Amino acid sequence: MGAAELRVLSKDPYNAEPPSLVELTKHAITPLRLAYARNHSDIKDLNSGSGEYTIKVDGELDEMEEIRITFKDLQDSFPRKEVVAALVCAGNRRAKMAERTGQKVQGINWSEGTISNVSWTGAPLRHVLIRAGVPEDSESHKGLHVCFASNVAPCEQDSWYGGSIPLEKAMSESGDVLLAYEMNGEPLTPDHGFPLRVVVPGYGGMRWVKWVDQITISRKESTNFYQQQDYRVLPTCVTNKDVADSQDWWSRVPAMQQLGCNSVVANTKRLPSVCPDEMTVEVSGYAYSHCPISRVEISADGGETWKETKITYQEGQWSWALWEGEIDVDLDGERGVEVLPAEQCKNGRRKLKATVLSRAIDSAGNVQDTECLWNLRGVGYCGAGEGTVTVEV
């Protein structure tokens, strides 16, 4: 089902990520062969029935009437809009959380490649909801939710997959929420939701429902398991599922929605240096948030001082930012440099490991944390990006 370039973490359901961040970040727009795959169910190939594929739209507002829109009608009767937006798994960097905190987390052991920056094309959800009778007055949207459902295949923890977002986001002209049928100029593939998936720029991928076939306006969030009992950042005192369930923590913390401010070091490279107790490191990576990235900074002294990098790519409001920079490392410094054990050294020389950190700052002024607390599900990890270089001196 997936591209051969992906590293498969589970086959049933199929979940896979690109194995190389260096290769991933070579591309401003992620090619399909490197787009990660996240599924809670079998992948359904609906190509043969796409002509009859229908979405039901209903809701609790008095002004609304239930309507059904065919896939063809969606393509032919609604504006066609293209949006570049980063799709990010809530569990991105889960393995890094476990490594940095020294605590086990529940879920697929994702590395730092569950992100895809894609050009999405589809019908604006706002126009679909207006056709169903949702008023354009923003005051009437407050406190309401748009619930997405896919009844195509049973999931691991529920008989269907669903999620919801605030109606205000869906109805915002600048929110750019789509019912997408193309990625990078080509029809969606089955593992990415053909014929239709929801695209919610600035929000976590768990709300980008694939194979969507029902949209409901509700006064409550989606009742689906993956909205109610998953994808929530539980406090550190919740150390197992029994505690979460018995103390009803799922209802005591909010469901994840907007992306946090985050950056990742994709590559480090030592540059030639004439000074034996110093070295210069070339660093590159990616960053994202729920709004544009203003700058990315790097540190070679454990976060005591920071140096601004150059953003080499960012497109519109919702894409990732690619960045690169250089930083000098003091090999005799007290922070950011570790002397490796003697058995790893050769010819009596010292072997050192230098760590370079990254942090992002977004246009809303949010600054990525250097540390990030552990949580049971390992979601939303946003500790500083981290890359290392080893050297013998």
Residue 293 token pair = 């990235």
The span from the CA of 214 to the CA of 50, in Å, is 15
Is residue 86 domain-resident? yes
Give how far Cα 298 sits from Cα of 44, 77, 194, 301, Å. Answer: 43, 48, 40, 9
Q: Is 251 domain-assigned? A: no
Residues 27 and 147 in one domain: yes
**Same-domain pairing of 113 and 190:** yes
Residue 257 inside a domain? The answer is no
- Tell me what pLDDT residue 201 has: 98
Q: Can you give the pLDDT at residue 274?
A: 72
Q: Verify that 210 and 268 share a domain, yes or no.
A: no
- What are the φ/ψ torsions at residue 138 (nearest 5 degrees)? -65, -25
Distance CA 30, CA 319 (A): 11
* Helix (H), strand (E) at residue 121: strand 115-124
Q: Residue 35, by phi and psi: left (phi above 0), alpha (psi -120 to 50) or beta? A: beta
Task: Provide the residue type at 110 as one letter.
Answer: W
Same domain, 270 and 215: no
> CA-to-CA distance for 250 and 81, rounded, in angstroms?
36
Alpha helices, H only, 68-189: 71-77, 94-101, 125-131, 167-171
pLDDT tens string 6-43: 999 999 999 999 999 999 999 999 999 999 999 999 99
Q: What pLDDT sits at residue 1? A: 42
Residue after which a domain boundary falls, among 233, 250, 275: 233
Q: Is residue 242 part of a domain?
A: no
Residue 156 pLDDT: 96
Q: Are residues 49 and 156 in the same domain?
A: yes
The total domain count for the chain is 2
Looking at residue 342, its pLDDT comes to 63
Same domain, 188 and 268: no
Q: Quick one: DSSP state of residue 29? A: S
Residues of the chain where predicted confidence (pLDDT) is lower than 70: 1-4, 48, 276, 342-348
* CATH of residue 314: 2.60.40.650
**Which residues are CB-contacts of 89 (< 8 A; sequence separation ≥ 6)?**
36, 38, 110, 114, 115, 204, 205, 206
**CA atoms of 148 and 127, how far apart (whole Å):** 16
Contact status, residue 128 vs residue 69, Cβ threshold 8 Å = yes
What is the model's pTM?
0.95
The DSSP line for 8-59 is: EEEETTEEEE-S-HHHHTT-SSPPGGG--B--SBPPP--GGGGGG-EEEEEE
How many residues are there in the chain? 393
Give me the half-sphere count of Cα atoms (radius 13 Å) on the Cβ side of residue 385: 30
CB of 184 closer than 8 Å to CB of 190: no
Q: Do 263 and 360 form a contact (C-beta atoms < 8 A)?
A: yes
- In order of 21, 337, 346, 354, 390, the CA distances from 270 in angstroms are 17, 14, 20, 10, 9
In a domain, 250, yes or no: no
- List the structure tokens of 163: 């999620």
Would you state the pLDDT for residue 4? Answer: 64
Identify whether residues 277 and 140 lie together within a single domain. Answer: no
Lookup: tokens for 281: 């490191």
Position 324 in a domain: yes
Are 115 and 92 in contact, with CB atoms under 8 Å apart?
yes
Scanning the chain, the segments in alpha helix (DSSP H) are 21-24, 71-77, 94-101, 125-131, 167-171, 225-228, 241-246
Domain boundary among 191, 212, 233: 233
Tell me whether strands 337-339 and 307-308 are parallel, antiparallel or unpaired.
unpaired
- Report the alpha-carbon distance of residue 198 to residue 91 in Å, rounded: 19
Burial level of 3, CB count in 10 A (0-12/13-18/19+)?
middle
The token pair that represents 246 in the structure block: 């018995």
- Has residue 33 been placed in a domain? yes
Q: Are residues 275 and 228 in the same domain?
A: no
Is 1 a domain residue? Answer: no
321 and 193 in a single domain? The answer is no
**CATH number of the domain residue 181 falls in:** 3.90.420.10
Whether the CB-CB separation of 281 and 270 falls below 8 Å is answered with yes
Q: Are residues 193 and 268 in the same domain?
A: no
Range of the domain at 283: 262-392
**From CA 290, how far away is CA 25, in angstroms rounded?**
19
Residues 335 and 187 in one domain: no
Instruction: Please check whether residues 81 and 223 belong to one and the same domain.
Output: yes
Considering only CA atoms, which of 94, 92, 166 is closest in space to residue 129? 166
Any idea what the Cα angle at residue 22 is, between residues 328 and 318, rounded to 5°?
95
